[in-house]
Structure 1
């Protein structure tokens, strides 16, 4: 009788890539740690080698709490000149390592920590791999008084921007700002797009990570972890 194994769940794929990311951590490292459900699996894996990790720089209050709970000290980004590695997930990643991030509302701090790192290791399941960015609604952190003006600018590009809500009220980020989620974009030149939107008054951070792109992506697939380098 032959038996067939059931396909891995998305949760199992996340755990698999979280574990695989440990090979990019060297003893004594200060590790940049992102935010989200896949990163939570990485933090769980970090707990198994926490004695080798000197400290972490975190991209959100939620990740900071998880890291401290497993006994890893968390440093302020201002206390660190450089990180060897930053590990984070993505909402989408294309064939060049360009990403859309910010589904968890931590995009500004994620971009700040990513900019400190020599290597960005993206951990994701294969559903996040796309040919062109834009199917996932693009998160943009904005200063609240500029939200409608920015929404009109996206409308001129063919996008529909909606204010992200939580419990019926505008979601407030760790930085005290709001998030617009923009549907209907097709981002064919992520570097130029990121540079342009960064210039709009009131934009804090756009969730295109092209200037801080992934160096490596560990992609969880049915046949195991696929390592993509860019």
Structure 2
């Protein structure tokens, strides 16, 4: 694999990003560089999860991304909800950065601004506004109940759920928003539990003990350090004897 970024849009919804107009990396404008975020709404352990968001702007000088242009080979495929992928390859290793679906697609036709602005959300947005109803469950852990929520909203992608450290005596949903139910279970579990969509699209739930048990929290993942420069470590021998050393200290 060639090192570098890939920004892809699965226009034909076939599960890959190799079709016509699907690798949009070279069309991303610098003034509309790719931005994305996910995690929590605020940097507090009790803050609710954040629906991951992504946005970027494409050059559309050739009207490839204009759905009203019959000459565009993807004209009939340009639509909201198409899958978005952002990934990077470093030294031959692939690192997914964000997956989601298009939320808004705006084509600018002003003279001198032939562009297409795209925003999207990750899979956590599927829980927003989705009302679900379930049977009554007794003495279930939070991880099990979150799995029930995902089943109720029709989640078909990968999931990675901790079992959960909290037992909920009684739990059910009766026409309740799925995202609100998820937030309530996270509060029941307590900090630093969290739910999010991983960069590869996996729904991920971590219970309040994950920082005590998982190797990612127990083992150093990387080391960052600054290398000293020549001037920072030059020989200052002779100082105090009338000399100023190689760095002309005091001179």
TM-score tier (shorter): under 0.3
* Bigger relative contact order (CA 8 A; separation at least 6): 1
| TM-score with structure 1 setting the length | 0.24
More strand, by proportion? 2
| TM-score with structure 2 setting the length | 0.22
